[in-house]
Structure 1
Amino acid sequence: MILINLLPHREAARKRRREAYQATMVASALLGLVIAGLIYWWFQMMISDQQDRNAFLKREITVLEGQIKEIATLEGEITALRARQKAVEDLQSDRNLPVHLLNELVKQLPDGVYITSLKQEGEMVTMQGMAQSNERVSEMLRNFTDNTPWFSKPELVEIVAANVALTPRDQRRVAAFTLRFRLVRSSEAQKTAASAQPEAGTARK
């Protein structure tokens, strides 16, 4: 049997081109969807990885913050323990302060100076006495200032002329004084004495 194509030749060609174009468009659309899907999947993977890293960093930061708090707590406890230790050491050394006070007074008081009253309140010492002259009081002040690490900031509060009756017929003119100074703690006095020794050696050279 013989078949005869009754469709026009040109119409058949246009149909083939149209079908080919449609197939190309469909293929392009499908390819675009695949590419878009791959890009979306890649971005989702990147976002997921970044979220995992962020979560890890947050956990590590939380751990570090806890460690920092522990360190700060330990440092506070160490500071408190050191303060307590220093307080105990100061208390133990302060027990010997009256001994140092009396020893230094014996060393630093010039001849002709006599103590009539001695009062200590904390680190401050108030001393009253009599001297044969104002020059003796000045010498005592110089000794307290320059010759001992145990006394600090001596201050002459008052000096007045007075009479002392040695016998009913023998009265002497004296200088009655009130002096105030700070009694230095043992640790501070030892540091001052240690720093003064090299200076004294340099001066002798």
Structure 2
Amino acid sequence: MILINLLPHREAARKRQKDQFFTQLGLSVLLGGVISGAVFTWYQGQIASQQDRNRFLQTEIAKLDAEIKDIANLQREIASLRARQAAVENLQGDRNLPVHLLDELAAHLPDGVYLSSMKQENQSVLLVGVAQSQERVSELLRNLSNNSSWLVRPDLVEIVAASTGATGRDQRRVSNFSLRVSLKRPSVAAPAASGSAVPAAAVPGKV
């Protein structure tokens, strides 16, 4: 007996293939959506974490900026206090400068040299006087250059030959001079004075 299938089997096979294709396509789309969602969620988490770190860094930077401003203000206040302290110390030290000036001149003024006037402007002193000869003026300059602890940089401004006394045998030749010398600050002169005093005291038999 011969059996003949009269149903459209080719159409049915194509329908099954089509249904299978759409099922696989739907599963692929669903799987792709799940993977895309997972990747998106991971990236969103990374972005949120980085944003949190950025906010934390910005907060810390703002704190550091405030601390830096406070430190800068403190440094300015410290510098101002130091400047005031230095000004007060200079004023206190400058009160004794005339005493040191007169003491140094009395100690280093050679015989035959007489001062007629002196004028102080800040740390500069102008000395005007009369010497028996130019050699006496040179000796005064050497004494102030090498032996003085408070007077430095002596500079001869002018020296002029002149005559003094009455006419005749009593008339003498002298040298009128003016020189400028600088006074040391006490903070600079004190170490030099103490350093120069030690060797003199250490020499045996020297009073």
Equivalent positions of 1:68-107 (< 5 A) are 68-107=68-107
**1:53: Cα distance to partner?**
0.6
Which residues of 2 match residues 46-195 of structure 1 at below 5 A? 46-165=46-165, 170-193=170-193
Instruction: Check 1:97–1:167 CA distance in 2 against 1; reply closer, same or farther (3 A cut).
Output: farther
What TM-score, normalized by structure 1, do the two folds share?
Answer: 0.88
Q: Give 3-state SS (helix, strand or coil) of 2:165's partner.
A: strand
Cα displacement string for residues 140-178 of structure 1 (whole angstroms, at most 9, x for unaligned residues) = 101111111311221111101112228996222111100
> In the aligned structure 2, how far is the partner of 1:51 from the partner of 1:18?
48
Structure 2: distance between partners of 1:34 and 1:8: 39
Deviating more after overlay: 145-154 vs 166-175? 166-175
Aligned Cα root-mean-square deviation (Å): 2.3
Q: Kindly provide the CA deviation profile for residues 111-162 of structure 1, in whole angstroms up to 9, marking residues without a partner as x.
A: 1111111111111101111111111100110111111131122111110111
Aligned equivalents of 1:62 and 1:168: distance in 2? 92
Cα deviation for residue 77 of structure 1 reads 0.3
AA of the residue aligned to 1:42: W
CA distance in structure 1 between the aligned counterparts of 2:195 and 2:31, rounded to whole angstroms? 89
TM-score normalised by L of structure 2: 0.87
Pick closer, same or farther for the CA change 1:166–1:72 going to 2, 3 Å: farther
Write the letter of the residue equivalent to 1:153. R
With over 3 angstroms needed to count, the CA separation of the structure-2 counterparts of 1:130 and 1:23, relative to structure 1, is: same
Superimposed CA distance per residue, residues 64-104 of structure 1 (whole angstroms, 9 cap, x where no aligned partner): 00000100100110011011001001100000000000000
**Mapped partners of 2:15, 2:143: distance in 1:** 126
Percent sequence identity is: 55
Count residues with an aligned counterpart.
Answer: 197
CA shift in 2, pair 1:196/1:57, >3 Å: farther
**Aligned runs of 1:11-30 on 2, under 5 Å?**
11-30=11-30
Q: CA deviation at 1:24?
A: 0.6
Q: CA deviation at 1:196?
A: 6.0
Could you say if the C-alpha distance between residues 30 and 194 of structure 1 is closer, same or farther in structure 2, counting changes exceeding 3 Å?
farther
1:8 deviation in Å? Answer: 3.1
Unmatched 5+ stretches in structure 1: none
**How far apart, CA to CA, are the structure 2 residues paired with 1:150 and 1:165?**
35
